[in-house]
Amino acid sequence: MRALVVVTGGTFDKEYDELRGTLSFRKTHLPEMLALGRCRLETRVLELMMKDSLNMTSADRKRILAACRRSPESRVVITHGTDTMTETAAALGRAGLPGKTVVLTGAMRPYRFGSSDGLFNLGSALSFAQALPPGVYVAMNGLVFSWDDVKKDRRLGVFKRQKTHG
């Protein structure tokens, strides 16, 4: 089994720019994280964009959809900013990706800052991507949600089912 990892940025890959004292993006850390996890699942990492998801446009979401559509892999993980992850998941879910298991994940704390949830979420998402039937999902906080039943609780910084309190 092979998986495609589509990198779009988000807190997952945020960096601290020492000279400016601000947050920024550079190259993705996904290959380094897969190595840290000693991941032996064959993966292809595609760095599509490096964006804070608050700045994502529908053009960006179309590009993500296209990357998923044309991938030979039927298992896809998308790393994404948590702020609009559910919107991208909905865009993909409504468009439809038949035969493909697509799992979006992100991080609340940048991988490079230590004490990050990034590695945990990456392991989680890659596993759900292998085990679940075709569909579009969000994997955060050790749980998995269908694209049409998830929202981000911005006060607590966690993901929950939309249809119930859960």
Site for a second copy (CB under 8 A): which residue of 13, 124, 147, 150? 124
**66 lies in the binding site for a second copy (CB under 8 A):** no
Residue 30 interacts with a second copy (CB under 8 A)? no
* 43 has catalytic annotation: no
Per-residue binding string, a second copy, 91-110, x by CB under 8 A, is -----------------xxx
Task: List, as one string, the DSSP characters of 24-41.
Answer: EE-S--HHHHHHHTT--S
Burial of 90 (0-12, 13-18, 19+ CB in 10 A): middle
Catalytic residue among 8, 11, 43, 79: 11
CB under 8 Å to 95, separation ≥6 — which residues? 65
> Within 13 Å of residue 90, how many CA atoms lie on the same side as its CB?
10
Stretch that binds a second copy, among 19-27, 61-69, 84-92 (CB under 8 A): 19-27
150 Cβ contact list (under 8 Å, min separation 6): 86, 89, 138, 159, 160, 161, 162
Name the segment binding a second copy (CB under 8 A); options: 8-16, 62-70, 86-94: 8-16
Nearer to a second copy, 47 or 135 (CB): 135
Q: How many residues bind a second copy (CB under 8 A)?
A: 52
* Catalytic residue list: 11
